[in-house]
Structure formats: structure tokens, C-alpha cells
């Protein structure tokens, strides 16, 4: 069966996934801030849905890059995770994540975190799979998508360095 993404151009908004959550005591550290690990879990989960919307097939998280914790999210605030695909390769795609905090008591919104994740599509039938192209529409999307090529190149160079490190470490387990 031919993949639905064959020769397809998607707008960023076609891959947009939004998730909101109220921060409860179980999500916080002793200081009353959202645990970083909890946020990472949510980011990976929501970003994977954006990747799936683009590819319409299974995939795996390959990397989480440039995780910027900008401002803490506090108990009782709302966390809004917005993600969309910003670029595609042969089998990989990049998802941009913007995490917005909202203190509804103070009527205040803020950017609390940003990140880029890379996913690798794992279609069942490789021969019929073609990754869609991504078309930005808004100023934010155009700006973020314009940097995809340079971020991808940096990730590829980092992967080579990581492979060397892994080779050096492979016989040194404690």
C-alpha cells in the first residue's frame, strides 16, 4: 500500500499538536516547581504525535536538542505544549516545541521552555514511504523552519562525535 505522504506538502499547522495541563502537587518538586523530568516526558510524548501526524507511520525519538528551561512552571499554573514539524529529511524529521506557562490568577502568560526533537520514521514498507515536505506560513514558522538545515548539519556532526565517544567507552563498564 502506498504511503499517504507521497509527494505531499504539509503546512506546519497540519502537524500542530497542543496539550494543556494544570500543574498539581504530584508534578512538583519541594520548591513547588514542575519537575524537569515530568516536562521532558510530556514534551517527548506530545512531539511524537506531531511527528506521527506528518509521517502517518511509527517512529522513534532520535534526539532531544537545545532543551532550554527558560522560566519555571509553578504549582497551580497551566502548562501548554505546542509542537509542530519544522523540517524533514529522508527518514528523519525535526519537531519544534514551545512550552507556554499561564498563571491565570495573574492573567499572565510566558514562554517557559523550548526544544527541538528529532524523530526517525519507521514505516512497515520502506519502498512506498516518502517523507512529506514542510511549508511554513506564519512569521514564527518561517523563522524556525529557516534554521532547520543548519540544525540538522550540527546534529549530524554531533552524531559522528558521539559515535567516537561510544566506541571509546564500549569496553569500560563498571
| pLDDT tens profile 12-29 | 999 999 999 999 999 999
Give the whole-angstrom CA distance, residue 4 versus residue 129.
8
Residue 90 has pLDDT above 70, yes or no: yes
Q: Find the mean pLDDT for residues 40-69.
A: 96
- Domain 9-171, architecture per CATH: Roll (3.10)
Measured CA angle at 99 (ends 96, 104), to 5 deg: 155
Residue 168 has pLDDT above 90, yes or no: no
Q: Find the mean pLDDT for residues 99-115.
A: 97
Residue 124 has pLDDT above 90, yes or no: no
Give the whole-angstrom CA distance, residue 73 versus residue 116.
19
CA-CA-CA-CA torsion for 66, 71, 76, 81, nearest 10 degrees?
-30
- Mean predicted lDDT score pLDDT of the chain: 93
| pLDDT tens profile 127-167 | 678 899 999 999 999 999 999 999 999 999 998 998 988 88
Amino acid at each position: 500500500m502506498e504511503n499517504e505522504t507521497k509527494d505531499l506538502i504539509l503546512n506546519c499547522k497540519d502537524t500542530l499538536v497542543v496539550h494543556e495541563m494544570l500543574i498539581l502537587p504530584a508534578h512538583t518538586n519541594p520548591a513547588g516547581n514542575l519537575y524537569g523530568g515530568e516536562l521532558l516526558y510530556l514534551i517527548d510524548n506530545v512531539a511524537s504525535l506531531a511527528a506521527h501526524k506528518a509521517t502517518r507511520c511509527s517512529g522513534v525519538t532520535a534526539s532531544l536538542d537545545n532543551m532550554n528551561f527558560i522560566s519555571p512552571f509553578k504549582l497551580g499554573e497551566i502548562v501548554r505544549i505546542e509542537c509542530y514539524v519544522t523540517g524533514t529529511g529522508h527518514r528523519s524529521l525535526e519537531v519544534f516545541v514551545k512550552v507556554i506557562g499561564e498563571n491565570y490568577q495573574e492573567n499572565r502568560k510566558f514562554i517557559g521552555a523550548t526544544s527541538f526533537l528529532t524523530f526517525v520514521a519507521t514505516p512497515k514498507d520502506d519502498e512506498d514511504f516518502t517523507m512529506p515536505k514542510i511549508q511554513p506560513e506564519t512569521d514564527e514558522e518561517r523563522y524556525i523552519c529557516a534554521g532547520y538545515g543548519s540544525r540538522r548539519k550540527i546534529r549530524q556532526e554531533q552524531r559522528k562525535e558521539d559515535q567516537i565517544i561510544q566506541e571509546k567507552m564500549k569496553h569500560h563498564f563498571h
